[in-house]
Amino acid sequence: MDGGTIGWSELEQHYGILLDPSRLCGEPGVLEGRFGRGRVILSLVHFDTPGDRNGAAVLRNLWSHLASCRPSDPPMGAKCEPGRSFKAVPKNILESIEEIHAAITEMIATGVRNFLWYWRNPLLLQWRRGVRGLEYSTLAAMIGEIRRRLNNPGASGLDGRPVFHEEIDLSHWEEDLKEVRGQLIPFCEKAKRLLIKERLYIMNASLSPVECADEEISRLRHELFASAMSHGGDFKRLIDPMDRLLYQLIKEE
């Protein structure tokens, strides 16, 4: 709307990105395809925009559409597995996730203190142009969900701690948590240094999310995310064990 008033070319020159929607005329806005044994939907439109009732309706329809592909429920009269017994979650696992959660919380707070972002909704940051935001949002959301599931997997034991099915081999989760902790703690410390330097930089010049004249900012960015907008670097090595752990927790529900 503002582009029609001011002129899209002027806005594009100012922000350094393509903004004129006329470029999309005749192009698809939403695509559906197959990936492996599943289906994926790619959307240029942000149907998850907070407060957009039409977008929320579309998103619900898309979820229903994709959920129709899930395995069917057991047939009526089929035998179900007997209830399984439980065992308490080891204290070291709970302590480890609390330490991890504290580190990511402080890193996010560093960005808030430096006016680089705020929480747009419980899962997504609203960040300033020129800094990374989606990656940090993803880390915080995944750690929060892993923490929630580890602290509330089922009924509590006699000592008040959460419990898991005794058939579950928690040693694999301990290994994943150890790997996540070993990578996330230094990642957060490095990210906090980067965020502060980026805040100081944008006080005097515009900042691109990919390129920067400041050598220290460029070095930290490359180590954390690699050189392209597609995720890489320390972030990719960190997100893999987190994704694996969260998937296993979801499967055990």
pLDDT at 85 over 50: no
> What gap in Å lies between CA 203 and CA 205, rounded to an integer?
6
Domain-wise residue ranges, the chain: 2-67, 86-251
3-state secondary structure of 199: helix
3-state secondary structure of 32: strand
pLDDT at 211 over 70: yes
* Long-range CB pairs of 176-181, under 8 A, 24+ apart, other chains included: 176/241, 176/242, 176/244, 176/245, 176/248, 177/93, 177/96, 177/97, 177/100, 177/245, 178/96, 179/241, 180/100, 180/238, 180/241, 180/242, 180/245, 181/96, 181/99, 181/100
Q: How confident is the model at residue 64 (pLDDT cuts 50, 70, 90)?
A: confident
- How many C-beta neighbours within 10 Å does residue 144 have? 15
Q: What is the pTM of this model?
A: 0.72
Token pair for 123: 């899962």
Beta strands in the chain (DSSP E): 30-35, 38-43, 86-88, 117-121, 124-127, 163-165
SS3 per residue for 134-149: HHHHHHHHHHHHHHHH
Q: How confident is the model at residue 15 (pLDDT cuts 50, 70, 90)?
A: confident
> What gap in Å lies between CA 189 and CA 146, rounded to an integer?
21
Predicted local confidence at residue 126, as pLDDT: 93
> What gap in Å lies between CA 164 and CA 169, rounded to an integer?
10
Q: How confident is the model at residue 231 (pLDDT cuts 50, 70, 90)?
A: confident
Q: What is the pLDDT of residues 115-138, one digit of tens each?
A: 999 998 888 899 998 999 999 999
Q: What average pLDDT does the chain have? A: 83
Q: How confident is the model at residue 162 (pLDDT cuts 50, 70, 90)?
A: low
